[in-house]
Every structure is written in C-alpha cells, then in structure tokens.
C-alpha cells in the first residue's frame, strides 16, 4: 500500500493487521445538506456522458444544489486531480463514472475522509458508498440473443470490445454466455476499441479483413457498434452482416430508423437516471438512511426496428 493510499485509508477508516476497513457513511462526518455536487465523467465526447450531465443538472436543480461537471477524457490521473479540486471546493457529493474502478480507490478514500459522499455510476469503483449501474450482463445477453436469432442461430461473429472497466467486461461476458446456447454460432474475433466510433470503425475493418465470412457483430457500446456499422458498409457487406450494440443512444435510434442499415438493435442504458438515482441515494445517506444494497442495477431493455418508435430514449 503506497503512502497516499495509506494516509487516505487511515483517515477514512481503520487499519487492522494490514487490512483496511473503510468507515461506513454513518461513521463519517457527513454534510447536513447537499449543496454542492461534483460529477466526473469518463469522456464527454460520448453522448452517454452528456446524458449523465443532463440528469445531474435536473437532480441538482430539484434539490437546490450547484453542479460542477468534469471530463476525464479517459485519463485516471485527470480524475485524481479532479477529486483533489472537488475536495478544495468543498463539494458534498461526488458522482463518478470511473476510468479505472480499482485505480481510483485511493482518491475516493481521500474524498470520503474529507466528509464527501461518493456515488459510482455506470461502473463499480472501489471505495464508493454505492454504485448505480445498468445490469450490464443482462444488456450483453439481450443484445447478443437478438443478434444470434436474427442470424438464424448460426454463423461467425465479431466482438468489438472496449476499455477494461467492469461494465464493459460484463457486457462481453453476457454475450459470450448467450453464445453457449447457440452451438452453431462461432466467435472468431475480438478486439478492443476506445469506446468510440472512430476506433470501432478501425478495429472492425481489421477484423473483417481477417474474417471475411462474418455475418454478425456485437459492439459493447453504441459508438463502437456504429463504427462497426460503417466498416460493414465500407466493405460492401450491408446485406451480409448484422450489428447490435448497447446504450439505446440517440444516434443508435436514428440508425435503427435508417433504411438499409446493418445496425438492427441496441440494449438500453439510462445514464441520466443513473445519476438521478445516485443523488437520491446520497440524500438518503445524509438523512441517515444508507442503502441496504450498495449496488443498484437498472434493467436493460432491447430496442429494435420493430419497437424503436415506442422507445422514449435519453
């Protein structure tokens, strides 16, 4: 344990026999009222995190709090600096979508030692008081079940993976679990994107070169899946390959409505609701009612061309 982490751990909890026990919210000097909220997102260029910001604005306005939203641009050290700044600003609650759920722990312990409530959203973060996230395994299962059925239960599939955070790992695991129920489906390629459209296009183009007979692609989020869709079209294989994603983003909705697109479905997330729920939990903690279950999972729904007009969206 490094010096920084040790100092944060001792301040936030008790160190016994080399094992750190973080103090529960009830044992810390917590704010009497939520007046300042700090929101930390991974990458504001992704519409998913813009929707988080909107949800945070709505929640802050509802309770009369100010909001400061910070973009990490997928950099862990930036999130460390942002937490230090939030501590200096005296925020009462930090809502964080962590770039690295394990690596962020020392900084979160430091924030908690300063009396700040920490709520993780979208992906677990060690040290957080609670986490609100999509049921990511379920999302991967729903998206891939639909994909495999639309492929007729057979064929070669590519997986467009992403950065190694828990929620993305869970989506891929959900897809692979479903694949076991389709013995004639073969996953022939898997490469990690940077969670965006440009890298989704690049890695899919590479995999299609190596595996020209592919008939299905699962993108672990909508930006990567839409990048894969473009790769399919550029390869002239729109009639051969079907693509699904995860998010239920506005861009995915528009793509589902576009005639002739290889993109056929997305399993939803609700980024704005994650943040709203996270701030509600923080209010309950302030009121002395910490959640009995510290991981809250929001169910995922499947959106396809058949039901897209009924989907409310972000």
pLDDT at 235 over 70: yes
Tokens of 243: 């693509």
Element spanning 282, H or E: helix 271-286
Q: Where are the beta strands (DSSP E) in the chain?
A: 13-16, 19-22, 36-41, 66-71, 93-96, 117-121, 130-134, 154-161, 184-192, 216-219, 242-247, 263-268, 295-298, 302-304
Going along the chain from its start, the domains and CATH numbers come out as 3-133+272-296 (3.40.50.2300), 136-270+303-310 (3.40.50.2300)
- Report DSSP state, residue 257: T
Percent of the chain exceeding pLDDT 70 equals 91
Tell the residue number behind the tokens 């009639």, with chain if given: 239
Tell the residue number behind the tokens 């061309």, with chain if given: 305
State phi, psi for 285 to the nearest 5 degrees.
-65, -45
pLDDT at 20 over 90: no
pLDDT at 159 over 60: yes
When pLDDT is cut at 50, 70 and 90, the band that residue 24 belongs to is low
Please state whether beta strands 93-96 and 117-121 pair in parallel, antiparallel, or not at all (unpaired). Answer: parallel
Positive or negative, the CA dihedral 103, 130, 69, 168 is positive
Q: What is the mean pLDDT of residues 116-123?
A: 97
pLDDT at 289 over 80: yes
Q: What is the pLDDT of residue 11?
A: 38
Is 155 exposed, middle or buried, given 0-12, 13-18 or 19+ CB atoms closer than 10 A?
A: buried
The pLDDT tens digits of the residues spanning 76-87 come to: 999 999 999 999
Q: What is the pLDDT of residue 28?
A: 75
Exposure of 269 in the CB half-sphere (CA atoms within 13 A): 31
The pLDDT tens digits of the residues spanning 196-220 come to: 999 999 999 999 999 999 999 999 9
DSSP 130-168: EEEEE-HHHHHHHHHHHHHHHTTTEEEEEEEE-SS-HHH
The pLDDT tens digits of the residues spanning 254-266 come to: 999 999 999 999 9
When pLDDT is cut at 50, 70 and 90, the band that residue 27 belongs to is low
pLDDT at 14 over 50: no
Name residue 118's beta-bridge partners.
94
Is residue 307 helix, strand or coil? Answer: coil
pLDDT at 281 over 90: yes
């Amino acid at each position: 344990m490094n010096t920084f982490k040790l100092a944060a751990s001792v301040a936030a909890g008790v160190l016994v026999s080399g094992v750190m026990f973080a103090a529960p919210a009830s044992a810390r000097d917590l704010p009497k009222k939520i007046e300042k909220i700090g929101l930390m997102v991974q990458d504001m260029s992704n519409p998913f995190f813009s929707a988080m910001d909107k949800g945070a604005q709505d929640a802050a306005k509802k309770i009369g709090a100010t909001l400061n939203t910070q973009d990490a641009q997928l950099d862990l050290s930036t999130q460390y600096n942002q937490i230090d700044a939030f501590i200096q600003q005296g925020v009462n609650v930090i809502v964080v979508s962590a770039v690295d759920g394990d690596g962020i722990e020392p900084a979160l312990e430091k924030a908690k030692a300063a009396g700040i409530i920490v709520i993780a959203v979208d992906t677990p973060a060690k040290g957080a008081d609670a986490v609100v996230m999509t049921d990511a395994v379920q999302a991967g299962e729903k998206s891939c079940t639909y994909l495999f059925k639309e492929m007729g239960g057979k064929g070669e599939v590519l997986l467009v993976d992403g950065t190694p955070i828990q929620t993305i790992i869970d989506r891929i695991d959900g897809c692979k679990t479903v694949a076991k129920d389709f013995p004639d489906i073969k996953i022939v390629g898997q490469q990690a994107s940077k969670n965006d459209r440009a890298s989704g296009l690049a890695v899919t183009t590479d995999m299609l070169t190596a595996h020209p007979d592919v008939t299905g692609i699962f993108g672990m989020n909508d930006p990567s899946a839409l990048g894969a869709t473009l790769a399919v079209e550029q390869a002239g294989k729109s009639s051969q390959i079907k693509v699904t994603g995860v998010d239920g983003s506005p861009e995915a909705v528009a793509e589902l409505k576009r005639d002739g697109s290889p993109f056929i479905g997305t399993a939803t997330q609700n980024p704005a609701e994650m943040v709203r729920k996270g701030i509600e939990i923080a209010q309950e903690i302030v009121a002395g009612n910490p959640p009995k279950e510290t991981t809250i999972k929001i169910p995922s729904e499947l959106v396809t061309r058949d039901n897209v007009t009924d989907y409310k969206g972000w």
